[in-house]
Structure 1
Amino acid sequence: MIKEALPTTLDLNDLSSSSANPIIRIADFGCSTGLNSIQAIETIIQCLLDLIKPIKQPQIGTLEFQAIFNDLPTNDFNTLFANLLPDRRQYFTVAAPGSFHSRALPSASLHFAYSSFTLHFLSRPPQEISDESSLSSTTEVVQAYSAQFRRDMDAFLSARAEEMVGGGLVFIVVPGEPDMVHDSQTTIGSEIELLGSCLGIISKAKVESFNVPIYFPSEKELKQAIGQNGFFHIERIQTLDHPKMHVTFSTLESRSLYLRAAFEGLLHRHFGDELDIDDLFHQYSLKVAESPFFLKPESHETITFFVVLKRKMYVEN
């Protein structure tokens, strides 16, 4: 996807004119600890090198690259950096711990931003749903989550706008929903309910106060949030139909591991020692085994969007 998008959205003149010895900075926001982040960074760098090769301007030949890995301070950056291979690395690396909903880098220092399967995680559950008397229907709950997503998306884009040079590119991969699908119809919504049904030994009040900070936007919501922010042009937004881009798993183990990776930290913070995490996901696996709905790709309504944004030049703001 990045290989296809870069040649049509990148202005190489911007790279070559930034300084006599330019450093191109690429950041992954929400990098986690896996190899996907490294592969994305290296793909962007290799694409840039391939695009630059035919150009004979001497200043472009002096380009250097810096890769910036951002995630919460609790992220295991040691594991991430242990996966870097020095013999093939063509860039310098740095960690930038902190929330991707706020500034992480100096002003006008970033050329490329990347964020994959992170922006559906909200900074917090909507404040409205903590007060049960303020919301009277499922529709109002969904609207509260939608509003929180817009606030968080605006915070993310505003932070990146401060950090990026004019003309800089943002690549976003985010799970979402078809425009006409309600939240209660999605697989993830049903799956969270199934996981919640395994919390039987926890007090009802404690369970009911656990609100998952996740929201899957529609394409319409994505476009509205980006447009309202105003700092970026939408260069491309497309729904990914490739099966590998859908969050589907064919085995109980892979399904359970995926959900545990996503929710274990949240569960620990909310329930503490009251909850036996191992037993919770064991019970969850047993329930999935009884109902193979979640292991069938055709049962999954969640889709994936690929978005390319270009930072407007500062005179346009």
Structure 2
Amino acid sequence: MTDTKVPSRVFPRAKQDAETAKHGVSTPQTENPAYRLAFQDMDFLLREDLRPVRFQLELLKPELVLEEANIASTFVFYGSARIPSPDHAAAAVAAAPEGPARAVAESLAAKAHYYEVARELARLASSFPVDEAGKRHFVVCSGGGPSIMEAANRGATDVDAESIGLNIVLPHEQAPNPYVTPRLSLQFHYFALRKMHFLLHARALAAFPGGFGTFDELFELLTLIQTGKIAPIPVLLYGRAFWERVVNFEALCDEGVISHRDLNLFTYVETAQEGWDVVRDFYRDRGDPIVP
């Protein structure tokens, strides 16, 4: 026997069988849903008792996408979807009727500068060099929506870098912002899995003024760090005046429900460079090799 080459596989790939199954003969048996290949049967995959399988798929797919893109770590951006960009702030105020609606529009417009701050911070993070193994670090990751999220993805685009958008299916129609890299634009059904993917590779996080969604994601992260479930990472709170007005952290300490040392879990910052310096110093102080 002179040919010693051993085939890498003997069974056909699933993709091959899927194609074969599409062009099979038509009989009462083959037309019945029971005959469909399990992984091609949407009615089967969407059954209530298949939820654990869907959890697995939604956990696995983004992980494979990021691995294939050589993404080792991310810089996560949270913030309101309602803050206008500086270009649209004045028009938003002018379009609002007099009274409470106008006051709200003015309040949001006053935060418009955070759009540019998020954009510049994303530029700084996206300019971080690739490591010796070809892995990328501090890749911008947002919720994929408008406003602060758009600014983050846009900042990455400014320096010709890819960025991630983690969208979620919502009752009202919505789409990823145009600056998310298409191959890194991911959509989730389960909030729990989306939350996990925000933090699995996060090595820094910036929270800009925001509402329930921002609070939800931010306080979950702070809880995970506080309880030791994950190692500390730099957590940047942009807009000290906003955060101190809407959350009385000192009162939580005074009430005894958190410790004063828990206030060290985050850092108030205002500018993009200030935030990036906090991240850089955090890892330098720990001698982490990913920071030059």
TM-score past 0.5 threshold: no
Q: Which protein has the larger Cα radius of gyration, Structure 1 or Structure 2?
A: 2
* TM-score category (smaller protein): 0.3 to 0.5
Q: Please identify which structure carries the higher strand content.
A: 1
